[in-house]
Amino acid sequence: MAHAQISKYLPPDINPTQAAIAYGCRALPKLNEELQSEDLLTRQKALMALCDLMHDPEHVYTAIRIGCLESLKALLKDTNDLVRIKTTEVLYVMATHNVGRDGFLEHDVIHALSFLLSDPQSACRENLHLAFKHLAQLPAGAKGIVNSSLIPSLVWKLQREEEGIQELLLDTLAACLMEDATEALASRAVPFLKEKLLSANSNIRSKATQALIAVSIPLEGKNQMWQHDVIPILVHLLKDKEEEVQANAAGALMEVRGPGRGGHPSAAGATAVILEQGAPQCH
Domain span at residue 133 reads 16-148
Q: In the predicted model, what is the mean pLDDT of residues 4-23?
A: 49
Give 26-79 pLDDT, tens digit per residue. Answer: 689 999 999 999 999 999 999 999 999 999 999 999 999 999 999 999 999 999
If phi over 0 gives left and psi between -120 and 50 gives alpha, with beta otherwise, what is residue 22? beta
What CATH number is attached to the domain comprising 106?
1.25.10.10
Torsion from C-alpha of 232, 236, 238, 242, nearest 10 degrees: -140
Comparing CA positions, the residue from 50, 40, 56 lying closest to residue 19 is 50
| 185 phi, psi to nearest 5 deg | -65, -30
DSSP states of 60-96: HHHHHHTTHHHHHHHHTT-S-HHHHHHHHHHHHHHTT
Domain assignment present for residue 134? The answer is yes
Domain assignment present for residue 169? The answer is no
Run of H or E residues at 213:
helix 202-215
Domain assignment present for residue 271? The answer is no
| 3-state secondary structure at position 126 | helix
Structural domain count, the chain: 1
Domain assignment present for residue 164? The answer is no
Domain assignment present for residue 114? The answer is yes
pTM of structure: 0.85
Long-range pairs, 102-110, Cβ under 8 A, ≥24: 103/60, 103/64, 103/69, 104/69, 104/131, 104/135, 104/141, 104/144, 105/140, 105/141, 105/144, 107/64, 107/69, 107/70, 107/73, 109/69, 109/72, 109/73, 110/135, 110/144, 110/145, 110/148, 110/150
**Between residues 27 and 87, which one has the greater pLDDT?**
87
Domain assignment present for residue 124? The answer is yes
- pLDDT band at residue 262, thresholds of 50, 70 and 90? very low
- pLDDT band at residue 2, thresholds of 50, 70 and 90? low
Domain assignment present for residue 121? The answer is yes
Domain assignment present for residue 159? The answer is no
DSSP states of 11-65: PTT--TTPPPPPPGGGHHHHHHHHHT-S-HHHHHHHHHHHHHHTTSHHHHHHHHH
| 3-state secondary structure at position 1 | coil
64 in Cβ contact with 107 (< 8 Å) = yes
Comparing CA positions, the residue from 99, 103, 18, 113 lying closest to residue 68 is 103
Ranges 25-39, 87-101, 112-126, 190-204: which has the least confidence: 25-39
